[in-house]
Amino acid sequence: MLDLKLIRERPEEVEKALSRRNGGYSIQPILEIDQRYRQVIGDWEALNRRSNEISDLFKTGKAPKGQIDALRKESKDIKKDSVEIEACKRELEEKIDALVFAVPNLPDASVPDGPDETANAEVSHWGEKPSLENPRHHYEIGEELGIFDFERGVKLAESRFTVLMDMGARLERALMNFMLDLHASKGYREVFPPILVNRQCMMGTGQLPKFEGDFYKCADDELYLVPTAEVPVTNLYRDEVLKQEELPIYHCAYTPNFRREAGSAGKDTRGYIRQHQFNKVELVKFCLPEESEDEHERLTRDAEAVLEALELPYRRMLLCAGDMGFSARKCYDLEVWFPAQDKYREISSCSNFGDFQARRTNLKYKPSDGGKARYMHTLNGSGLAIGRTLAAILENYQLSDGTVKVPSALVPYLNGVTVLRPRGQADPVGAGVQL
């Protein structure tokens, strides 16, 4: 969340920055309630001072004899008024918290203006797009290979849940292990967190309260299925004060993820791109404020390294202010090439949140010089979305005879399998596996 002191002292600057986001946000309600709150605080402090004065008069025996009854009555009235003011104070605190928690992060100065994805800026691109005649969609390839079972996914759950069979399941697992191993080699400590989290965790990373309807929630408990490993991993150190010497901290985590995808009806409903349940490896960083910009660039490069190892063409996009997520102050999207769609599709978002999430989770560090504890900065990015990576491999590595080549980086994770073949197609010795 934003610093209330910043909102109070520089309201015009805050509103100008927020106006860059799609639709803008008014902070006037916050300022109005904050003014009332400070008035109530002043009244509450004045009552406490007067209560202490009366108490001292009685303790020291200096209460004028002719005013003893009046002072006792005044003391009783002060206690009554204090109860009412305390209740008013709590009510205003709750209102301020609710309003501040609903305000998004301020875009970084380097973020371009724009209302939506059409204003995003390409920063770089990598790899050669495959030359394919009449490329098939990943879902067509997957069904022919027998690795996607969309119908049984619907039977077991509902639409946009998919069963992976045989080499589909093995590929998904191979990608997960490959990504985790690659990130571990770069210094990320692996975490395997719970996939159910409490409301405080969801509030801390910014999923709630704004996006309440987007997530799956347990009926009998205040627990949510994780929409991304960012949520539990960022909350690992919630309400803790770490030592400066402990930073930066790098974590990587695999989790299944669950999203209702409210409002996305009609978008990518066919295939394995936009699922209600999907697997992902997440990268999360905790660092010093002065290092977060450099750490953001390094985190993005770590996500790009996965695509480069798999030899998948991609581009890096700097998101405009109107297209950024709620909690981000700067975000790069990595988009992988899909030949059948003839366009790039998002496969990772790498975000720098500044101290936005740290304020929501009360996440601080103690400077080595012994100064006052400060909020650290948090960052995260997909490293990568496994299902979309699998789909991209099927499209980019498809061959004219119906087979799909396995990226060389994955061959060791598939016991030497180099080619995926449709069911019933003969498997030449040493060429791969017959599904």
Of residues 137, 128, 130, 140, the one with CA closest to residue 340: 137
Write down the catalytic residue from 51, 173, 346, 374.
Answer: 346
What is the rounded CA–CA span in Å between residue 127 and residue 111? 25
DSSP symbols for 232-276: HHHGGGTT-EEEGGG--EEEEEEEEEE---TT-TTSS-SSSSS-S
Asked about 122 being catalytic, the answer comes back as: no
Containing 115, the helix (H) or strand (E) segment is none
CB contact at 8 A, 230 and 284: yes
Greatest CA separation for the chain: 111
Pairing of strands 364-366, 121-126: unpaired
SS3 state of residue 283? strand
Of residues 386, 397, 433, the one with CA closest to residue 174: 386
Burial class (CB in 10 A: 0-12, 13-18, 19+), 219: exposed
All residues at 6 or more sequence positions from 110 whose CB lies less than 8 Å from its CB, including other chains: 318, 330
User: CA–CA distance from 379 to each of 249, 297, 331, 335, 389 (Å)?
Assistant: 10, 10, 10, 19, 22
Q: Name the residue type at position 232.
A: P
Q: Name the residue type at position 268.
A: D
All residues at 6 or more sequence positions from 239 whose CB lies less than 8 Å from its CB, including other chains: 361, 362, 363
Q: Which two tokens stand for residue 22?
A: 């799609």
Write down the catalytic residue from 327, 349, 351, 382.
Answer: 349
Task: Give phi and psi for 152, each to the nearest 5.
Answer: -70, -25
All residues at 6 or more sequence positions from 118 whose CB lies less than 8 Å from its CB, including other chains: none
Cis omega (within 30 of 0) on the bond before 384?
yes
Alpha helices (H) in 235-350, listed in sequence order: 292-309
All residues at 6 or more sequence positions from 181 whose CB lies less than 8 Å from its CB, including other chains: none
Asked about 423 being catalytic, the answer comes back as: no
Write down the catalytic residue from 8, 36, 50, 274.
Answer: 274
Asked about 259 being catalytic, the answer comes back as: yes
Q: Which two tokens stand for residue 250?
A: 């790098």
Write down the catalytic residue from 327, 388, 395, 421.
Answer: 388
Write down the catalytic residue from 259, 359, 360, 421.
Answer: 259
Chain centroid, CA 15 distance in Å: 24
Residues acting as catalytic residues? 259, 274, 346, 349, 388
